[in-house]
Amino acid sequence: MQAKNIDEVISILDKIVEECKATNNPLGYFAILYRQVTINVRDGILNNRFEDNPRMERLDVHFANRYFEAYFNYQVQKPITQSWNIAFISSKKEHLILQYLLQGINAHINLDLGIATVKTLENNKIETIKNDFNAINALLSEMIDEVKDKISSLSPVFKLLMPLAKQWDHKLVQFSIETARDGAWEFANTLYNNPSNFDNLLKERDQKINALGIALVTPPRFLRWILNTILFFETGSVKSKMEVLEKKVQQ
């Protein structure tokens, strides 16, 4: 299932969210966040917030289609990238809502964004898209900060204990959001400047991002008790937590 425009992206994300609610699938947490980011991008396009609004829509669609391809291929056991595979496999075990979100962000920004950026360029120079590239990252980063503030309603001890995991939080959250932006831009430039080596570069990058995906759900032993305690207080079914998260990100 692939989108042709940003409204179709939102429609497909609606379907994924509802499907995940029906099956209590924690992959729905990322879909909820991603849908709201996409709505924000669409609103920005309508209000001419970007340097090249038609191009931003093309970037958004190419970007989203990477996720859709991975998500739907995984459902029917077709080959997907290692980065998305670890994110999807992780959904079979219990983790923090934040960890599920970061798994999706890790695969999508660290791997997919560079690929989508080069595909969007067509015959233009890569420097022409940098400001809009940064803009879409900024929207996602803002959403993550908001979600972290609101997760306390889903896990009463999140704000109390998460500072104790600051080393884990800073190292992985910052890498997956801020440093990821710079890494994705560097990856896009590498692909742009080496089109004949595209497949090998993608494979190498995928292996690196897969390793980070594993790290996101296997923190050092001395921090596991903190995360497990937070997880213990994330009460309710996946569906009920999705519904709360859905309301929070829309506020």
Is the per-residue pLDDT at 139 higher than 90? no
Q: Is 189 exposed, middle or buried (0-12, 13-18, 19+ CB in 10 A)?
A: middle
- Each residue's pLDDT tens digit, 96-126: 787 888 889 889 989 999 999 999 998 889 9
CA 67/CA 116 separation, integer angstroms: 11
> How far is Cα 213 from Cα 152, in angstroms, rounded to an integer?
24
Q: What are phi and psi of 60, to 5 degrees?
A: -60, -40
Per-residue pLDDT tens digits for 2-57: 999 999 999 999 999 999 999 999 999 999 989 988 999 999 999 998 999 999 99
pLDDT at 215 over 90: no
**pLDDT at residue 238 in the model:** 85
More confident residue, 193 or 215: 193
Tell me if 38 sits within 8 A of 57, measured CB to CB. no
Structure confidence at residue 43 (pLDDT): 93
Tokens 């996409």 sit at which residue?
38
Q: Look at residue 69 and tell me whether its pLDDT is greater than 90.
A: yes
Q: What is the pLDDT of residue 166?
A: 56
Mean pLDDT within 230-248: 78
| Res 164: pLDDT | 54
Whole-angstrom distance, CA of residue 221 vs CA of residue 204: 28
Mean pLDDT, to the nearest integer, of 198-216?
92
Q: Which two tokens stand for residue 244?
A: 């709360």
Across the chain, mean pLDDT equals: 84
Rounded to whole angstroms, how far apart are CA atoms 251 and 246? 9
- What six digits make up the tokens of 37? 């980011």
What are the phi and psi torsion angles at 77 (to 5°)?
Answer: 60, 35
Answer yes or no: is pLDDT of 151 > 90. no
**pLDDT score recorded for residue 98:** 79
Residues 6 or more apart from 54 whose CB is under 8 A from it?
A: none
